[in-house]
């Protein structure tokens, strides 16, 4: 390691996901359920709005906090969906995806050595960005036995005088779990009792199945302590446009704005124009993609269960998180062997934190044909290793 690099960057571990993509990239005919982004392209009318903005000469920076019309539209959408009132002028900040928003939120809260309770298994960036912002991630485990719900007891056991915040992301990547109102209230109680801020990454808020999403800031007394992050990437199939946003009381957004204006200037202009179109006219698109994910969700969850890989029922996002306990293999060894032998890419659960060990993440943001082919390959692998029952075979004939 280069001696010039800071200790904090030297101690940052590379993402456990990347490795599998690197291996897969060297192989032909790989079927991947590894990718955490929509397989849909951005709806055509949204693309057209972005393209038109270029032809109209909107090729410069926007106001630092984001184009006013977009901030107003975000504020109005949140008011309509959740009854929350955020001032478009001072309480909405448009960022380069939730990724930037998450970093800013952490950066404005943490002094060196401050601790953040990071509920896991979680998005790989969560502990890494806490560390990058100068803090210490304190991982808070959840388990399949409690439907990956975080509890008051698990949080409280890890609070210290250095704890500044709780970082939640539900609907969850990688488990697909959605936090119940009851468990949200437990988190809120801990936040109040120990005077903590809650950073709630709700990027999958629109992708829920058979339940309502609850915005964390709607809980009693939580508006003042919640920094809520969301964005365009997953709901509108707009990952490449790089637009996210923060809604929070002005004290937080104004602090975040200070870094944002120096670091970023403004989120991509074309992306912001397209996002405005999406928020104002993209409702049917969100719903039709959500319905399609829901269909695939049943297909993949049933498929895993039939093969004997017990799968917790995901209620949000677009991931299934089956247990591979019956294989007796470590999840990394399992994924590596599956990739080498059957050219099927899944992500080991332990890449998302220790409580993901013994599970694998399978994204169903992919075609039905790919899901069926993946289940076929998985079955062949399990049979070869003496794990699966042959009875499952006809179900998955492509
Ligand atoms: C939980 C979670 N948060 C944030 C992100 C990144 O989102 P964005 O594209 O808005 O930066 C992802 C992407 O996979 C995610 O799964």
Q: Is 56 helix (H, G, I), strand (E, B) or coil?
A: coil
Q: Which helix (H) or strand (E) holds 251?
A: helix 250-263
Q: Which helix (H) or strand (E) holds 273?
A: helix 269-281
Enter the tokens of residue 372: 């069926």
Give strand ranges (E) for 18-88.
Answer: 31-32
Confidence (pLDDT) at 369:
97
Q: Is 151 left (phi over 0), alpha (psi -120 to 50) or beta?
A: beta
Cβ-contact 343, 336 below 8 angstroms = no
Distance 234 CA to ligand 1 centre (A): 8
Confidence (pLDDT) at 1:
61
DSSP state letter for 14: P
Residue 255 to residues 101, 352, 357, 366: CA-CA distances in angstroms?
Answer: 12, 29, 37, 39
Cβ-contact 360, 324 below 8 angstroms = yes
> Could you tell me the domains of the chain?
7-42+284-396 (3.90.1150.10), 45-281 (3.40.640.10)
Length reported for the chain: 398
Of 153, 94, 96, 148, the residue nearest 316 (C-alpha): 148
Nearest atom within ligand 1 for CA of residue 172: 1
Nearest atom within ligand 1 for CA of residue 37: 14
Distance 364 CA to ligand 1 centre (A): 16
Most distant CA atoms of the chain, gap in Å: 62
Residues lining ligand 1, CB < 6 A?
A: 36, 97-99, 123, 169, 173, 201, 203, 231, 233, 239, 244
Confidence (pLDDT) at 2:
83
Confidence (pLDDT) at 28:
86
CA–CA gap between residue 289 and residue 296 (Å, rounded): 11
The ranges of the chain with pLDDT < 50 are 391-398
Distance 378 CA to ligand 1 centre (A): 27
The best mutation among 128, 129, 234, 365 to test binding of ligand 1, ranked by most ligand atoms within 8 Å of the C-beta, falls on 234
Residue 117 to residues 30, 127, 156, 253: CA-CA distances in angstroms?
Answer: 37, 9, 10, 21
The sign of the CA dihedral 199, 204, 210, 212 is positive
Q: Which helix (H) or strand (E) holds 118?
A: strand 115-120
Please tell me whether the peptide bond between 169 and the residue prior to it is cis, using omega within 30 degrees of 0.
Answer: no
- Burial category of 362 from C-beta neighbours within 10 Å (exposed 0-12, middle 13-18, buried 19 and up): buried
Distance 169 CA to ligand 1 centre (A): 10
CA–CA gap between residue 203 and residue 387 (Å, rounded): 37
Q: Is 316 helix (H, G, I), strand (E, B) or coil?
A: strand
Confidence (pLDDT) at 23:
81
């Amino acid at each position: 390691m280069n001696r010039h690099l800071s200790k904090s960057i030297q101690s940052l571990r590379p993402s456990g996901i990347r490795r599998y993509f690197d291996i897969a990239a060297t192989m032909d005919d790989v079927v991947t359920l590894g990718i955490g982004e929509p397989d849909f392209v951005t709806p055509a009318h949204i693309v057209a709005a972005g393209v038109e903005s270029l032809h109209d000469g909107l090729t410069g920076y926007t106001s630092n906090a984001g184009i006013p019309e977009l901030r107003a539209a975000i504020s109005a959408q949140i008011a309509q969906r959740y009854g929350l009132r955020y001032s478009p002028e001072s309480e909405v900040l448009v960022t380069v995806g939730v990724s930037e928003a998450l970093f800013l939120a952490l950066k404005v809260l943490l002094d060196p050595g401050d601790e953040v309770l990071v509920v896991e298994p979680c998005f790989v960036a969560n502990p890494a960005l806490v560390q990058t912002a100068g803090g210490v991630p304190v991982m808070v485990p959840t388990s399949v036995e409690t439907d990956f719900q975080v509890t008051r007891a698990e949080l409280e056991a890890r609070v210290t005088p250095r704890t500044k915040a709780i970082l939640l992301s539900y609907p969850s990547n990688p488990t697909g779990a959605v936090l119940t109102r009851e468990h949200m209230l437990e988190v809120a109680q801990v936040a109040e009792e120990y005077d903590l801020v809650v950073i709630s990454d709700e990027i999958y808020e629109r992708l829920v199945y058979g339940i309502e999403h609850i915005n964390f800031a709607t809980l009693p007394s939580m508006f003042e302590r919640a920094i809520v992050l969301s964005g365009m990437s997953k709901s509108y199939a707009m990952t490449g446009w790089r637009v996210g946003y923060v809604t929070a009381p002005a004290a937080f957004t104004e602090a975040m704005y200070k870094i944002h204006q120096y670091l970023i200037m403004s989120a991509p202009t074309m992306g912001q124009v397209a996002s405005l179109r999406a928020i104002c006219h993209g409702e049917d698109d969100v719903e039709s993609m959500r319905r399609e994910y829901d269909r695939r969700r049943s297909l993949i969850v049933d498929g895993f269960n039939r093969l004997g890989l017990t799968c917790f029922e995901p209620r949000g996002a677009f991931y299934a998180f089956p247990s591979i306990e019956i294989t007796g293999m470590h999840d990394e060894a399992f994924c590596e062997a599956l990739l080498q032998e059957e050219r099927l890419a899944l992500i080991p659960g332990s890449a998302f934190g220790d409580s993901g060990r013994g599970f694998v993440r399978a994204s169903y943001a992919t075609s039905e044909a790919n899901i069926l082919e993946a289940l076929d390959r998985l079955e062949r692998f399990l049979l070869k290793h003496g794990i699966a029952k042959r009875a499952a075979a006809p179900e998955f004939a492509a």
